[in-house]
Structure 1
Amino acid sequence: MPDPVLLCYCTCPDADSAQRIAETLVGERLAACVNRLSGVASTYRWQGSVTTDREELLLIKTTTARFEALRERLLALHPYELPELIAVPVERGHAAYLDWVREGTAGRAQGC
């Protein structure tokens, strides 16, 4: 059975941190692709107050086999004290694309 694909969500405070995280995850083959959505408005409770901030949302495509390494790397790179990282299993999709995600996360990047 092929390694299941995951779609992970992560918010970042700005374009620079989002781009750095995206490039690192793809460069190290922890993700096959990362989409960046700018201008996301997030409303949340933090330290007893409700606040709204502008953020960038990362949509990260990876596999279950690479998730723990991705999680560790993302937490090391992320500027937030408590970064959002939510992984949702992909139950259906274009088979060729899902195979591409698996290929893009197979093994380690050269030089790593």
Structure 2
Amino acid sequence: MEMIMVYTTFPDWDTAKEITRKLLEMKLIVCANLREHEAMYWWEGKIEESKEVGAIYKTEVSKWKELRDTLKELHPYEVPLIARIDLDKLNREYSEWMGRVLFG
């Protein structure tokens, strides 16, 4: 099994938790880590500052396209970041657990 992590951000806790729960229910992800942080970025010609909730999703590479497309559909941002991070090393026990969760 080839594990990947997917990183995205949300505007608030409620949105992050609602979308994350849907992804878990759809078995597109096996686990998520959510953390609030300060964000600074360019938007429409000026520097903005806000709080965001960052999400790291753990899943298997075969779920990538459906996860990406589902995030694009559900995401409230006009231009969301949806970044795939390929992992080349993963402990066997975690990999086996992921397989049981995602593929039954």
Query: Does residue 64 of structure 1 match 2:64?
Result: no
CA distance in 2, matches of 1:33, 1:12: 17
1:19: which partner in 2? 17
* SS of residue in 1 equivalent to 2:54: strand
Query: Does residue 94 of structure 1 match 2:75?
Result: no
What displacement does 1:105 show?
2.3
AA matched with 2:93: A
What displacement does 1:90 show?
1.3
What displacement does 1:36 show?
1.0
Uncovered stretches (5+) of structure 2, i.e. residues with no partner: none
What displacement does 1:15 show?
0.6
* SS of residue in 1 equivalent to 2:81: coil
Query: Does residue 82 of structure 1 match 2:82?
Result: no
Q: Any conservation in 1 of the 2:3–2:90 contact (CA below 8 Å)?
A: no
Q: Any conservation in 2 of the 1:6–1:90 contact (CA below 8 Å)?
A: yes
After TM superposition, the score normalised by the length of structure 2 is 0.91
Identity rate, percent? 28
What displacement does 1:95 show?
1.5
Superposition RMSD on alpha carbons, in Å? 1.3
User: Which of the two has greater helix per residue?
Assistant: 2
